[in-house]
């Protein structure tokens, strides 16, 4: 064992002992019983991204694990009856409420909850005959309640995928999404009929170019910035919620978003002028057109599909 591995192992042992000590109920477990699980967790969540983590960082990471939840789960896996009773008694309500949130009706929710418990109990055997309990995947990083909610959510999505093509969870832009899918091709923008077909074409091209460039620039953003953009614009979250997902305060999220606006704009303008040969004026106009354009697309589409010659609104007149 290299020196690094030795110190890691030492830190792991110390952390395991501390975890047992700080739990309210040790459930007749000892360091040997929990060590393998802790080692896996440590590798998966700390050492994979920080292979040179110091013993203190390892200790701190282990100190943050939910001791009681983890010991409860491990005891259940070892067949401890009292632990099973405890987990059902303690978390039945959580599973049920999560199931209700992911289901259309009470019957469906009940069925979903039962499936979850069945999966936990491991009644669905794996191909090699080993019980396929999901409990083995609980690491103790998050709370047991949170993990159970996620399990319910995943199971619900799997079910719905089997039932219908569309994903169950709502997002505000869905309707527009659908509308566009049905009636448009690749891009989501279609102006109303303009008196000047050439102008309309130009505008369409302009917008398409802008969006393509924007897509490229966004994909090059660092992960958390990209995630923020998605959370706020695609998922329609409020800044506070988006910040919560990222683990930052609302004010921080707001500052980041403002910074991103400026950065993205600069990048898009640079690409459009340098690579596509646009003038600064053209670029500015492309952005300005964003706010001046017709936004009520569904109505627009309905009008358009009814009669092609009737102009709903003239665009481009400044």
Partner 1 sequence: MKLSYDKEMDEALRRHARRADGSALPAQDGAHMDADEISAYAENALPAATRLRYAAHLADCDHCRRLVISGTLAANVAGALEQQATANSTPAHASSASWRGWLAALFSARALRYAAPALALVLVGTVAFIVLRQKQAPESAGLVTEQRRGDAQMPPGNAPAANGSMNSAVTSPATTETSELDARESSAQTSANSATGGRAATNAQPTDELMARRAEESGVGASSQTIPQAAPAPAVTHEASPRAGATPHPNTGLTMSAPAEAANSNAAVARERSRQPAGVREGELVAQSRDDARRNAPPAPPPSATAPSGAVAGAGVAADSAAGPEERATQSRRRAAARVASPRAQAQREEDQTRSETAETRRAGGRTFRRQGNAWVDTAYRSSLSTISMSRNSEQYRALVADEPALGRIVQQLGGEVLIVWRGRAYRIR
User: Could you say which residues in the range 23-62 bind partner 1, by CB under 8 A?
Assistant: 23-24, 45-46, 48-50, 57, 61
Among the listed residues 74, 75, 109, 237, the single contact to partner 1 using CB under 8 A: 237
Q: Decide: is 300 part of the binding site for partner 1 (CB under 8 A).
A: no
| Residue 261 in the binding site for partner 1 (CB under 8 A) | yes
Neighbours of 187 (CB within 10 A): 12
Among 10, 13, 22, 205, binds partner 1 (CB under 8 A): 22
Q: Does 204 bind partner 1 (CB under 8 A)?
A: no
- What is the number of other CB atoms lying within 10 angstroms of the CB of residue 69? 22
122: left (phi over 0), alpha (psi -120 to 50) or beta: left
Q: Which residue stretch of 104-112, 123-131, 193-201, 207-215 sits at the interface with partner 1 (rule: CB under 8 A)?
A: 207-215
116 phi, psi to nearest 5 deg: -60, -50
Tokens of 82: 């009292």
CA–CA distance, 176 with 188 (Å, rounded to integer):
9
In the list 141, 202, 204, 267, the residue contacting partner 1 (rule: CB under 8 A) is 141
Site residues (CB under 8 A) for partner 1, limited to 103-132: none
Distance CA 188, CA 58 (A): 49
Shortest Cβ 8–partner 1 spacing (Å): 15
* Closer CB to partner 1, 94 or 307, in the complex: 94
Of 29, 138, 271, 300, the one binding partner 1 (CB under 8 A) is: 138
- Cβ proximity to partner 1: between 287 and 310 the closer is 287
Q: How many residues contact partner 1, by CB under 8 A?
A: 81
- On the 0-12 / 13-18 / 19+ scale of CB atoms within 10 A, 23 is middle
| b/e sequence 136-170, b meaning 16+ C-beta within 10 Å | eebbbbeebbebbbebbbebbeebbeeeeeeeeee
User: Among residues 143, 183, 202, 267, which is the contact residue for partner 1, using CB under 8 A?
Assistant: 143
**Nearest approach, Cβ of residue 55 and partner 1 (Å):** 14
Neighbours of 62 (CB within 10 A): 22
């Amino acid at each position: 064992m290299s020196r690094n591995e030795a110190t890691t192992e030492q830190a792991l042992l110390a952390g395991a002992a501390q975890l047992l000590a700080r739990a309210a109920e040790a459930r007749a477990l000892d360091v040997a019983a929990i060590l393998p699980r802790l080692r896996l967790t440590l590798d998966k969540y700390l050492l994979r991204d920080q292979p040179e983590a110091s013993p203190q960082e390892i200790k701190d990471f282990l100190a943050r694990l939910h001791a009681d939840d983890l010991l409860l789960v491990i005891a259940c896996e070892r067949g401890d009856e009292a632990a099973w009773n405890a987990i059902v008694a303690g978390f039945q309500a959580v599973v049920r409420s999560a199931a209700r949130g992911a289901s259309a009706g009470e019957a469906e929710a009940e069925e979903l909850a039962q499936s979850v418990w069945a999966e936990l109990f491991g009644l669905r055997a794996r191909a090699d005959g080993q019980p396929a309990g999901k409990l083995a995947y609980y690491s103790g990083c998050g709370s047991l309640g949170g993990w159970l909610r996620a399990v319910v959510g995943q199971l619900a999505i799997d079910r719905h995928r089997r039932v219908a093509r569309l994903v169950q969870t709502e997002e505000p832009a869905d309707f527009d999404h659908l509308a566009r899918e049905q009636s448009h091709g690749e891009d989501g923008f279609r102006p109303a009929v303009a008196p000047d077909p050439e102008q309309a074409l130009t505008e369409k091209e302009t917008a398409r170019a802008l969006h393509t460039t924007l897509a490229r620039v966004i994909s090059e953003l660092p992960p958390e910035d990209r995630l923020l953009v998605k959370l706020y614009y695609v998922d329609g979250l409020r800044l506070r919620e988006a910040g919560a997902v990222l683990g930052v305060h609302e004010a921080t999220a707001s500052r980041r978003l403002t910074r991103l606006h400026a950065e993205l704009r600069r990048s898009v303008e640079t690409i459009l002028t340098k690579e596509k040969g646009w003038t600064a004026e053209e670029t500015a106009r492309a952005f300005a057109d964003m706010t001046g354009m017709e936004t009520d697309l569904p109505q627009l589409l309905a009008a358009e599909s009814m009669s092609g010659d009737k102009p709903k609104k003239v665009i481009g007149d400044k």
